[in-house]
Copies of this chain bind each other. A is one copy, B any other.
Amino acid sequence: MNIVQVIGIEEFPIVKKGDSLAELICNMAKKQGTSVQDGDVIVVTHVVVSRVEGKIVNLDEVVPSEFAKNIAAQYEKDPALVEVVLQEAKRIVRMDEGKIITETKHGFVCANSGVDKSNVPGERVVALLPDDPDGSAEKIRREIKRLTGYDVAVIVSDTHGRPLREGEINVAVGVAGIKPIRDRRGEKDFFGYVLRVKQTAVADELSSSAELVIGQADEGIPVAIIRGYNYPKSENAKATELIRPKEKDLFL
């Protein structure tokens, strides 16, 4: 039978700077009776990655600029939060309806430069995106290989809003060991016809699948193992392959 399992890693501890996520993932998986296996896809929410990398900011220590204060007053936001969002932005893409959509230094277009308010202890602490989410994913992957001998794929995910559709979905901001897009052009569909255009954003679909367990538990699940999915392997793929170049985007 064709079954893919999405397994939530429960009772994950609150991580601090310098912790090894690979060790925690392997140990916590073992503890709940399901060791990491060869060919697993491991989806990690970016907030825990940011925390072990020290990419968190105490808003009480931020001095907002006049521009940040002005925007914050108009949008009924925290001036210190707006300041952090602006500092993390390469440019502002849209600013309306109480939303600040920016392009991050990585090239992602998302709300608030990916700065995340929730899931970090301390009401006034926020998590930034990792500096190099692909590198963060690769580090976890390499460590898991060292600890277990197994080849896995690792995805660092974030929750994004999107144009056209309401509601947020989980998408990939970092990848290691997996091509983020499965190019199916040239493959035959199930009646034997050649598919004309079919490039599936599998890293985003895997991230969204992970949220079925990540978003489900009240106590919070920051890591999911996806087992049974035959992912397209790659040694050097980048999540930025998921970003459409501005000049090719009909909505920018």
Apart from A4-B6, A167-B202, list 8 A-B contacts with CB within 8 A: A2-B213, A3-B5, A121-B191, A169-B200, A190-B218, A205-B209, A212-B229, A251-B251
- With A6-B3, A191-B121, A208-B205 known as contacts, the answer to whether A242 contacts B165 (CB < 8 A) is yes
Question: Considering the complex of A and B, which 6 residue pairs feature the smallest CB-CB distances, nearest first?
Answer: A190-B220, A167-B201, A2-B8, A163-B251, A209-B209, A94-B250
Which residues of chain B come closer than 8 Å to A34, judged between CB atoms? 1
A199: Cβ under 8 A from any B Cβ: yes
B-contact bits for A205-234, CB 8 A (1 contact / 0 none): 110110111011111111000100110000
Which residues of chain B come closer than 8 Å to A2, judged between CB atoms? 7-8, 10, 213, 216-217, 221
How many residues of A are counted as interface, with CB atoms below 8 angstroms from the partner's CB atoms? 81
Q: Looking at the complex, which one of B166, B187, B202, B213 makes contact with A241 (CB distance below 8 Å)?
A: B166
Task: Kindly report how many copies of this chain are found in the complex they form together.
Answer: 2
Q: Report A72 CB to chain B, min CB distance, Å.
A: 14
A33: Cβ under 8 A from any B Cβ: yes
Q: Report A238 CB to chain B, min CB distance, Å.
A: 12
